[in-house]
Amino acid sequence: MAQSPLVFHIDVNSAFLSWESVCRLTEDPEALDLRTIPSAVGGDAASRHGIVLAKSTPAKKYGVTTGEPLVQALRKCPGLCVVPSRFDVYIHYSTLLMNLLSDYTPDIEKFSIDEAFLDMSSTIHLFGDPWTTANQIRERICRELGFTVNIGIAPNKLLAKMASDFRKPDMCHTLFLDEIPEKMWPLPIRELFFVGRSAQNKLEGIGIHTIGQLAACNVELLKPILGEKYAIQIHDYACGIDPSPVAEREPINKGYGNSTTLSRDVDDLDTAFTVLLSLCETVGARLRADHVICDCVCVEIKDWDFHVQSHQTTLNSPTDSTTVLYENACRLLKEFWDRTPLRLIGVRATKISDDEFSQISLFESEQSKKMKEMEKAVDQIRSKFGTDIIKRASFLKKDSIVDHAASKQKHLSHSALKEDEKGSEGGGSGKVRDYKRGWNETY
């Protein structure tokens, strides 16, 4: 008998702030629980620089939003308690969460540092009915790990993710096919996964304001406005259709990417170049670790208004060199950035091939050869003793925006790269990630 598809989506409530609170309480049981007061993670309260990476429920009542400048958040809530981010702490608690979830199914897709999809289709019979099981998982996470989650229960990933975004915090919600008309279709179009600000404006421009209206619309009318592929995808989503499986393993990399959300807005080249160097170090190290080279480099930026731009170039010859990646990334950034303050910077390496078949240059300088050997030596040292054991001098400045050891990596498949570029045109915003095409964040 065929098993009915069943997917859980686990989403940590205010992850960074929750994990920061749990860590502080573990270190000092008498410490104030940040979750009970207006508080936020991100930036520097003394200098009033940076953005809000996460906020508490009391802070939300003052109108504080994730992603807004810290100075703006402090105007809304002068008593806001701001703490700096500690990604090593968040990685630790994320790992604990994923280990706990593996007790329920081997089929887990880590969607981000604080989210995961669980395919419960073949194991749910071991635990009971879906509702009871989801609540048991939710309660166990709170009891053993000290933080709360929302869990969406549905027949596919799209609906499970939509369900987990219903009322928060510390809740379980279902969204089965027969519940779509009541629970999902009345929601504003912006609430549909993969609909960004640009697509929202286009849809509202033709009178589509709710997910239900999008589902009822003839997809042929959407294609000229949104593009054929994107129109079909979000129309399917509005109808609750998503055939993508929960990925048990990370797909083979056909592209390597690293991006970081900045702790403060960046509007000068020197700081942006420092961030690019950190990103290129990570991408270059991964290329060398996998014994591959790239023939194309792309730089992506997102400004304070969440407008995304990218620019790419084909290299003179394939490379795995951090230095070559960095030089080309800097040139690209100078060519297309107008100095609008940036929230996110990313670097991607594509057109991947095996380094065994790289063309030997007759004109490679001795300095270039020495640089390659140095980069490999640094890789080996970091592999043995940790990424923080050896740093570039530019990363040691007191006010440096780069935390090299905690750089967030996004491993992208070739399809993800193409869809990301297309998604930006089709209406993607900064929050958009297409899990169907392999955006797997690793830390």
Query: Residue 363's pLDDT is what?
Result: 45
pLDDT at residue 304, rounded to an integer: 78
Residues 105 and 202 in one domain: no
Dump pLDDT digits (tens) for 295-345: 999 999 998 777 889 999 999 889 999 999 999 999 999 999 999 999 899
In a domain, 386, yes or no: yes
Looking at the fold, whether 193 and 262 belong to one and the same domain comes out as no
Give dist(CA 116, CA 15) in Å, integer. Answer: 13
Q: Count of domains in the chain?
A: 3
pLDDT in tens, 66-86: 888 888 999 999 999 999 988
d(CA 249, CA 62) in angstroms, rounded, equals: 41
Q: What CATH number should be reported for the domain holding residue 273?
A: 3.30.1490.100
27, 127: one domain: yes
In a domain, 216, yes or no: yes
Is 403 labelled as part of a ligand binding site? no
| Residues 143 and 187 both lie in one domain | no
Q: Could you give the CA distance from residue 404 to residue 391 in angstroms, rounded to a whole number?
A: 8
Q: Are residues 12 and 148 in the same domain?
A: yes
- How far, in Å, CA of 135 to CA of 170, rounded? 9
17 touches 55 (CB < 8 A): yes
Query: CA-CA distance, 45 to 81, in Å (whole number)?
Result: 8
At 338-370, the pLDDT tens digits run 999 998 999 999 988 887 655 544 445 556 667
pLDDT of residue 191 exceeding 70, the answer is: yes
Whether residue 160 sits in one domain with residue 74: yes
Determine, yes or no, domain membership for 88. Answer: yes
Residue 335 shares a structural domain with residue 269 = yes
Tell me, yes or no, whether 417 lies in a domain.
Answer: no
For 66, the domain range is: 1-173
pLDDT in tens, 94-128: 999 999 999 999 999 999 899 999 999 999 999 99
Residues with a catalytic annotation lie at: 115
**Tokens (6 digits) for 197:** 């600000």
Choose one of 195, 211, 238: the last residue of a domain: 238
Q: Is 399 annotated as a binding residue?
A: no
